[in-house]
Structure 1
Amino acid sequence: MTEWKEFSVAISSEASEPVSAIMSELGSAGVSVADRNDFLTLPEYGFDTLWELDESKFPKDGVIIKGYFNNHDDLETVEKELNARIARLEEYGITTGSYSIEVTDVVEEEWANAWKKHYHPVPVTRFMTIVPQWEEYTPQFIDERICYLDPGLAFGTGTHPTTQLCIQALETVIKKGDTVLDVGTGSGVLSIASALYGAGKIKAYDLDEVAVTSARSNIKLNNLEESIDVRANNLLQGVDEKADIIVANILADIILLFVEDAYEKLNDNGLFITSGIISEKKDQVVEELIKYNFEIVQVNQMKDWIVIIAKKENKDV
């Protein structure tokens, strides 16, 4: 029976996305986030929760991020590198606050059973429900789309506000046959949602090879291999594809790096959907989008998180 080490980081909410990314880059076999905002927010929107939520498991302040590493990994190096990278986040303007790291043992069988015990279908919108692969689920509406995911791969289960905001945005703008570029695809959930909403061609990119593997598995689970092409890539570098929609659910500081590139990759009147943006960073992202001739179409917020829908204005008009 394989044993694992669980690295648990208690840190500020603002650092949630970058620490999750660090865990993945260091080779974590899965990442989970306990965020009190999820406990407090989801019922307000009338959705069933994906998890059987126990309030005592959620931190009063900040978030708890857990990553899982095999005992065959160089755990001493993992812990040292994790500490070093988190310490450097302040240099990028990400407030970590006072944080702590704990390491505990986890038995694989117990871990797998824990995932299945607490993971249930969640309707993200009226037309989109995310369902774990082993759950039996009967659609409630004739036009309901079902997105199957394996949470054991844990690169985005659809519960985080940024993912929900992106899915809601995609639902309102996708037209049948649209070409979509999904930057920082993670679990592939936004690519899958795009296909289910009628997009014709979808290209998904992630810098992390483990995320690429995760996305491919989930895409196969939904029988969408012919619609979605996933590959490892750094943002939009070297991408020649022109798109009707580009969606990026990543950090605001990363979005700022490729706004110009996104503009060039969009067709006229194409849309750039960005999330993973904490509310304090909204104005900075909006200013950058306007700088490169984007028109801000819509800004939506769920608790502290923002999604921006921006349209490419034709410079020649």
Structure 2
Amino acid sequence: MQWKEVNIAVAPRATDAVALLLYECGSNGAVIHDEETDECGRIRITAYFPSQPHIEKEINNKLQVLATGEKLSLAIAWQPQVADETEWLYTWQQYFHATDVTRRCRIIPAWEVNTVEKNEINIIVEPGRAFGSGLHETTAMCIRLLEKYVRSEQQVWDIGTGTGILAIAAAKYGAAAVKAVDIDEASVQQAVKNVQRNDVAAQVQVERGDLLQNLTPPKNGVDLVVANLVTDPVVCLLAGVHRFIKKGGHLIVSGIIDTRIEEVYAAVKRYGFIVREEKNGNGWYALYLQQEE
């Protein structure tokens, strides 16, 4: 796969809003270069998108809508060359370092595993080109909820696993069996490597799939499903996940931008779930839900 790079110069007050929009549009990661500003005092954001027809026009239009609504001055520059797979894989990894996401849990990139201090729970990640380093707010909120609610002997599913980071976290927090699913074959391959790297292969099964399609509901139902996606797939998941979760079972959903949280609340109610806890940070929400019995 090939990738296109876009650089956007924007006022510091709007960096989060622009980064959120890029993620909603399908970026596999955005870097905010807040250590440097241009002559107008703007901060540069770099993002990558799969090279597809009309992607530049689509993203530009959405950025201009945001700029008009927020009265922003944007400078948008697409790189004329297309990044190949190898170049894209590692360009942004210089920004990924060991990070504590809870008091107990530390995310460690594979290239730092021998050089940093360990915590009680350590998740070693080689991101490759899959989404999910643990640095994104949505991933961190999901890990915090997993730490609080995963119990031993539980069966957990991670839908849209990316690097496998949430599946690995569930296993390390004590889940007896974890199924990790992703539609992207490269993500599946990377998740398998990370599962092995973290010595949880006995607990975690990784497979390719599109949300819940072609999955077989277990006899007694899943105790907990976690899904760090974006808003539309979250709503789609809510519509069908009741067939897989046991009565009174739980669901963690994230990747929900704050401007669309009301849509998700409506879907939660429509499909028979109750909000037991919510977290929010930097414009994103994560919800811990229970299926009505």
TM-score, normalized by length of structure 2? 0.79
Which of 125, 130, 154 in structure 2 is aligned with 1:149?
Answer: 125
Q: After TM superposition, give the deviation of residue 57 of structure 1 in Å.
A: 7.8
**Higher relative contact order, structure no. (Cα contacts within 8 Å, ≥ 6 residues apart):** 1
Runs of 5+ unmatched residues, structure 2:
9-16, 68-73
Which of 166, 171, 174 in structure 2 is aligned with 1:195?
Answer: 171
Letter aligned with residue 35 of structure 2: E
Cα 1:179–1:80 change in 2 (3 A) is same
Q: After TM superposition, give the deviation of residue 176 of structure 1 in Å.
A: 0.7
Letter aligned with residue 33 of structure 1: A
Runs of 5+ unmatched residues, structure 1:
22-30, 37-53, 69-77
Match of 2:46 in 1: 64
Which of 229, 236, 248 in structure 1 is aligned with 2:227?
Answer: 248
> In structure 1, how many angstroms separate the alpha carbons of the residues matched to 2:279 and 2:84?
41
User: Helix, strand or coil for the counterpart of 1:234?
Assistant: coil
Number of residues paired by the alignment?
A: 269
Q: CA contact under 8 A between 1:12 and 1:61: conserved in structure 2?
A: no
Q: CA contact under 8 A between 2:36 and 2:43: conserved in structure 1?
A: no
Query: In the TM superposition, what are the counterparts of 1:1-317 in structure 2 within 5 Å?
Result: 7-8=5-6, 10=8, 12-20=18-26, 31-35=28-32, 55-56=35-36, 60=42, 63-66=45-48, 78=51, 80=53, 82-83=55-56, 86=59, 100-104=77-81, 118-135=95-112, 136=114, 137-140=116-119, 144-241=120-217, 242-314=221-293
Q: CA contact under 8 A between 1:115 and 1:152: conserved in structure 2?
A: no
Q: 1:38-76, CA deviations, whole angstroms, 9 ceiling, x for partnerless residues?
A: xxxxxxxxxxxxxxxx622899579431359xxxxxxxx
User: Helix, strand or coil for the counterpart of 1:56?
Assistant: strand
> In structure 2, how many angstroms separate the alpha carbons of the residues matched to 1:270 and 1:35?
38
Cα 1:63–1:288 change in 2 (3 A) is farther
Cα 1:103–1:169 change in 2 (3 A) is farther
User: Helix, strand or coil for the counterpart of 2:101?
Assistant: strand
Cα 1:116–1:88 change in 2 (3 A) is closer
Q: After TM superposition, give the deviation of residue 231 of structure 1 in Å.
A: 1.2
Q: CA contact under 8 A between 1:5 and 1:103: conserved in structure 2?
A: no
Q: CA contact under 8 A between 1:155 and 1:214: conserved in structure 2?
A: no
User: Helix, strand or coil for the counterpart of 2:236?
Assistant: coil
Q: After TM superposition, give the deviation of residue 85 of structure 1 in Å.
A: 5.9
Q: After TM superposition, give the deviation of residue 268 of structure 1 in Å.
A: 1.6
> In structure 2, how many angstroms separate the alpha carbons of the residues matched to 1:173 and 1:211?
26
TM-score, normalized by length of structure 1? 0.74
Q: After TM superposition, give the deviation of residue 88 of structure 1 in Å.
A: 8.9
> In structure 2, how many angstroms separate the alpha carbons of the residues matched to 1:178 and 1:293?
22
Letter aligned with residue 123 of structure 1: D
